[in-house]
Amino acid sequence: MDMMKRVPIAEQAPEERAKNFKEVCLGYTEEEARAEASRCLNCKNPRCVAGCPVSINIPAFLQQVIAGQEAKAAGIIAESSALPAVCGRVCPQETQCEGVCIRGIKGEPVAIGKLERYVADWAREHKLEPENHSEKNGQRVAVIGAGPAGLTCAGDLAKLGYEVKIFEALHEPGGVLVYGIPEFRLPKDTVVAHEVENVKKLGVEIETNTIVGKSVSVDDLLDKEGYDAVFIGSGAGLPMFMHIPGETASGVFSANEFLTRNNLMKAFREDYDTPIFAGKRAIVVGGGNVAMDAARTALRLGAETHIVYRRSEAELPARAEEVHHAKEEGVIFDLLTNPVEILQDENGWVRGVRVIHMELGEPDQSGRRRPVEIPGSEEEIPADTVIMALGTSPNPLLSSTTEGLETNRKGCLIADEKNGQTTREGVFAGGDAVIGAATVILAMGAGKQAARGIDEYLRSKRA
């Protein structure tokens, strides 16, 4: 075995997976996992651990994999993370744990994410259950939002003896994990539902269909319902549009709508009622991970799918692996192209997009070369659907209904990085609601920090 190279992992063939919603990556077998884990140098000063926002003791769990002690490996991961089967699948490992792995200096870094997934899947298949031996301390915390930030914060607080209840606006817990990230990257009924169940097994209660700010206010929770502190993990769910003519035509969707219909409402399945329309030719505007997810979903629903992005391939903000998978499956990339108008037919349906071609000019503040329009390069391209994947921002509902809760210019809640304390006493926050659309693992890291912050705050009140 070449110790510089990763043990390859099985995937569904591109032609096959482009027609179904089953998971793309099939995971390591026991032998493969052991071989890959044995590439770890068990560093004294493991840089990978510092690269993980929740500080999983990576070399320790890898040693247990090598020893064939998966249950022990799972126990080590569980000390730091409540959602390992999720993170192992969707973390941008190349910029986190794996990005700083010593193995990566000369060869390929250890496949930490894939091994974390292997252990988490093993634990699920072997019905390993999380345990919580803490004693109740009599204080209660309300958590708003059942996304990665809220679930992590709630789980950690339950382990510290708090009585915790999560209030979730949608009918299902999980946040972006259930409504945004597609089934073929993150299976819902097996992986997500199971990890949410595990959080509940720690003693956390989840009340769905409750929108804090509408169904109940933060003040009600603190004053009337007897909670001693509140954590806000409400995410950044508000979709942006381009504000170009024709954007309200039928057949124009935000990526959030398109993905919600398909993931949360399961429109791709015949036995669910919610409809979806991908058409024969779908155009996805944007170049990030959300754009890749929307494009690969439209493709699976049978549309010829194009990504329209105004910069070049080098500037695509999506993870390299996602771009690679999208290309393999047949998504077509129309780069250096920007929509200027959405064209409608007489019934108000999308019939195409007028685009303008771009070239790269001088670098802007972000250091990326700025795209500039090429005069006279406009053309019309046909389409039945247009999906806008331009980014999202936090929903103003909580800040506008909670006295003393302040936001910055971008609408993000202001909160202390170290402990999640907001501008209102007893109210903490973390995740996308604070830093804007980011990643699962950063949201979890923030949930953890806030759990510690809340514990400190409530301890001082107890004393």
Partner 1 sequence: MYKILKKKKLAEQIWLMDVEAPRVAAKCLPGEFLIVKIDRYGERIPLTICDYDREKGTVLIVFQVVGASSYRMAELNEGDFFEDVVGPLGCPSELTKKTPEELRKMNILFVAGGVGTAPVYPQVKWLKEQGVTADVVQGAKNKDLVILEDEMRAVCGDHLYITTDDGSYGFHGLVTAKVEELVEKEGKHYDLCVAIGPMIMMKFVALLTKKLGIPTVASMNPIMVDGTGMCGACRLIVGDEVKFACVDGPEFDAHKIDFDQAMKRARMYASEEGREYLREKEGKTHHGGCGNCGGQQ
Binding site for partner 1 (CB under 8 A): 169-171, 179, 208-211, 214-216, 237-239, 241, 243, 247-251, 253-254, 256-257, 260-261, 265, 270-275, 277, 347-349, 395, 397
Q: In angstroms, what CA-CA distances link 140 with 137, 452, 455? A: 9, 15, 11
Closest CA to 50 of 445, 430, 420: 445
Closest CB to partner 1 among residues 214, 462: 214
* Contact between 24 and ligand FAD per CB under 6 A: no
Q: What is the pattern of x (binds ligand FAD, CB under 6 A) and - over residues 184-223?
A: ---------------------------xxx----------
With CB under 5 to 8 Å by kind, the binding choice for 150 among partner 1, ligand SF4, ligand FAD, none is: ligand FAD
Q: Packing angle between helix 193-201 and helix 148-159, nearest 10 degrees?
A: 30
* Contact between 234 and ligand FAD per CB under 6 A: yes
Least separation in angstroms between CB 41 and ligand SF4: 4
* CA angle (192, 385, 23) in 5-degree steps: 25
Closest CB to ligand FAD among residues 83, 101: 83
User: How far is residue 320's CA from residue 92's CA, in Å, rounded to a whole number?
Assistant: 10
Pure H helices in 239-318: 255-263, 289-300
- Pull the structure tokens for residue 33: 């996992």
* CA angle (294, 300, 303) in 5-degree steps: 80
Considering only residues 25, 85, 97, 451, which one is a binding residue for ligand SF4 as defined by CB under 6 A? 97
- Residues 291-330 binding ligand SF4 (CB under 6 A) are none
* Contact between 64 and ligand SF4 per CB under 6 A: no
Least separation in angstroms between CB 149 and ligand SF4: 14
* CA angle (193, 199, 200) in 5-degree steps: 85
From 31-39, 196-204, 374-382, 430-438, give the range in contact with ligand FAD by CB under 6 A: 430-438
Least separation in angstroms between CB 250 and partner 1: 4
Beta bridge partners of 390: none
Q: Which helix (H) or strand (E) holds 343?
A: strand 337-344
Question: Which letter does DSSP use for residue 261 in this model?
Answer: H
Per-position DSSP letters for 143-208, written without gaps between them: EE--SHHHHHHHHHHHHTT-EEEEE-SSSSS-THHHHTS-TTTS-IIIIIHHHHHHHHHTT-EEE-
Q: What is the pattern of x (binds ligand SF4, CB under 6 A) and - over residues 102-131?
A: xx------x-xx--x---------------
Least separation in angstroms between CB 33 and ligand SF4: 14
Compute CA 135 distance to the chain's CA centroid, rounded to the nearest angstrom: 32
Considering only residues 115, 259, 303, 318, which one is a binding residue for ligand FAD as defined by CB under 6 A? 259
Residues near 47 by beta carbon (within 8 Å), at least 6 away in sequence: 100, 101, 102
Least separation in angstroms between CB 169 and ligand FAD: 4
User: How far is residue 44's CA from residue 101's CA, in Å, rounded to a whole number?
Assistant: 12
Q: What is the pattern of x (binds ligand FAD, CB under 6 A) and - over residues 60-99?
A: ------------------------------xxx-------
Closest CA to 276 of 249, 252, 258: 258
Question: What letter represents residue 2's amino acid?
Answer: D
With CB under 5 to 8 Å by kind, the binding choice for 372 among ligand FAD, partner 1, ligand SF4, none is: none
Contact positions toward ligand SF4, by CB under 6 A?
40-43, 46-48, 52, 54, 56, 58-59, 81, 87-88, 91, 93, 96-97, 101-103, 110, 112-113, 116, 441
Contact positions toward ligand FAD, by CB under 6 A?
90-92, 144-150, 167-170, 175-176, 180-181, 211-213, 233-235, 237, 259, 289-290, 293, 395, 397-398, 431-433, 437-441, 443
